Amino acid sequence: MAIALVEAGLAAERGEVPIGAVLIDGEGQILARNGNRSIELCDPSAHAEMLVLRQAGIALGNYRLPGTTLYVSLEPCVMCAGALVHARVQRLVYGAVDPKAGGVVSLFQVGQDSRLNHRLQVNGGLLAEESARLLRDFFKGRRGA
């Protein structure tokens, strides 16, 4: 999660919402890491999670990523949670909850829905305060407060 927080900080430096993600394989090796780039890439889907899944898929030559764990500083939205299910990511570990747009525990439970063909192991709250602080400080700065 510490690496995801570094990526979130780099996203903030680029003027992006400070969310970072890192995907590791079953042996703990980093497959991909990135932060939000929606503004930079003019792409509403360029969330940290989506970028990491794309990078890992290209690196491995497969859109399926079984046995992997995604660490992300904020609970994924519905789009990202759906992509995690489609990629067959095994485990999701997130920092802060997202009560306004969370697709995993807060508003929806996409990764746990038994109607889908894959479910995620979900662990939340890892370095949650540090993750939340990055977001609070970023938006406080944007408001000029």
> Based on C-alpha coordinates, what's the Rg of the chain?
14
- 54 alpha carbon, distance to own chain's centre: 12
Q: Which of 7, 16, 49, 75 is catalytic?
A: 49
The two beta strands, 69-74 and 30-35, are unpaired
Helix ranges restricted to H, the chain: 2-13, 38-41, 48-60, 78-87, 128-143
Is 49 considered catalytic here?
A: yes
DSSP string, 65-82: -TT-EEEEEE---HHHHH
| Catalytic sites, residue numbers | 49
